[in-house]
Structure 1
């Protein structure tokens, strides 16, 4: 777990560090990297890879700028959708303003109250619980002309052959991107058994299937209203795979 502190007053910074170490001991958190910063630029230069293990404790007023923490929270959220943001400040009048910055903060703790330790501990209990509930991301490392692409399985709908190059495939993602991959469907199927060969021309992500039309032998993906064919010969195998995954499924 990485905890980033943005606080320009040294004594307040030290207090937060000591509080975090106490919480680490009480909650038996095996690893907690505490990284304190006194200015926004230094913090922004050290932003890590997006992760549920990143926690940001932000003071709102930094170096006289009464909205510095709010502004940096917006940049953090744009960079890291998984991180936890907690505001600790004397400016509790800015609480409604946090929603305008869309930082999706977990908590807003007033410095002048005597419950900082208790509230932070409750927040970290919530963070740990959320991390345990989080499904692990499954990454597919795919060869491209530019090198290698690391793609989250959760972002993939399906692969199909590249009609202009028999040695390549086209990856279709949930955000409507079409990416060229320098391997065939057969190679992908052999390397990534999590994918399913629904049709000669389609290697799908079965986790995204939400409905199957038995009359027309088509299927649909979550968030996509287009019909995709599957082979009649693969019907039994398709249902067996979906049953294994315990996926919510509508049969038409």
Structure 2
């Protein structure tokens, strides 16, 4: 993910550019705020506490960002250790406050760990956020939260499907054949099973089975195994056979 950086220090920008994968630099708070207003919420932002000699510029920018985006992951860097207390009192929800220390190895190690934590937080926020999905139910449709659906299976002897959610089951009148088309996370792995790939924990190609995070064991037929491997880019061993992969 990109990292939005507020800094007017040329040396800092040069060094950060060498270390970070996708840095996007801004020299003024207004330019940064304008850019953040044009992208989706939930970005990683690194703020220099002092801009153009104004020591509270970074903190005030953090406050404005927090008002607009509760998911933003904010990291502050500063030459002034006293700013840490001011940031804490302002309750802007910083991931970390890092003293620059002439941009030494210790600084960059802590910065990279803070950015890693920020990205992890954003993934968790995304996973917990409801994803509405409308599924067919006979001549009508029903609204579900995809983040709670683990897998689907057929209801033997009927034209219904059973939706196995995290804490209960539901039944809909629908075709297993068309189900995967309703969302990119839905994968058919067997004539009688469609999974939510977000809940996949372990896939064992040699055993033609997979295990969901919930512990459910689900068969994988040869007909659908190829598409599943391609989607997940399974590694192969020296014999060219796909190996078991633990997703989490």
TM-score (norm 1): 0.51
Q: Is residue 124 from structure 1 mapped to residue 125 from structure 2 by the alignment?
A: no
| Distance 1:125-1:193 versus aligned 2 partners, 3 A rule | closer
| Distance 1:130-1:191 versus aligned 2 partners, 3 A rule | same
- Matching of residues 1-252 of structure 1 within 5 Å: 1-21=1-21, 32=22, 34-47=23-36, 48-51=39-42, 54-112=43-101, 114=104, 115-134=106-125, 135=127, 137-140=129-132, 190-194=141-145, 242-244=167-169
1:92 and 1:19 map into 2 onto residues whose CA distance is 23
How many correspondences in the alignment?
152
Which deviates further from its counterpart, 122-131 or 80-89?
A: 122-131
SS of 1:190's equivalent? strand
| Distance 1:190-1:106 versus aligned 2 partners, 3 A rule | same
SS of 1:108's equivalent? strand
Q: Deviations over 1:77-123 (max 9, x none)?
A: 11111121111110111101002222100111111263111101221
Answer yes or no: is the 8 Å Cα contact 1:6–1:38 preserved in 2. Answer: yes
1:84 and 1:127 map into 2 onto residues whose CA distance is 6
2:45 and 2:109 map into 1 onto residues whose CA distance is 17
Q: Compute the RMSD of aligned alpha carbons.
A: 3.6
Q: Deviations over 1:154-203 (max 9, x none)?
A: xxxxxxxxxxxxxxxxxxxxxxxxxxxxxxxx9xx7152449xxxxxxxx
1:59 and 1:81 map into 2 onto residues whose CA distance is 20
1:86 and 1:7 map into 2 onto residues whose CA distance is 12
* Unmatched 5+ stretches in structure 2: 150-164, 171-248
1:57 and 1:90 map into 2 onto residues whose CA distance is 14
| Distance 1:241-1:39 versus aligned 2 partners, 3 A rule | closer
2:120 and 2:62 map into 1 onto residues whose CA distance is 23
| Distance 1:243-1:126 versus aligned 2 partners, 3 A rule | same
2:29 and 2:67 map into 1 onto residues whose CA distance is 15
Answer yes or no: is the 8 Å Cα contact 1:5–1:35 preserved in 2. Answer: yes
Answer yes or no: is the 8 Å Cα contact 1:49–1:80 preserved in 2. Answer: no
* Unmatched 5+ stretches in structure 1: 22-31, 143-185, 196-205, 208-239, 246-252
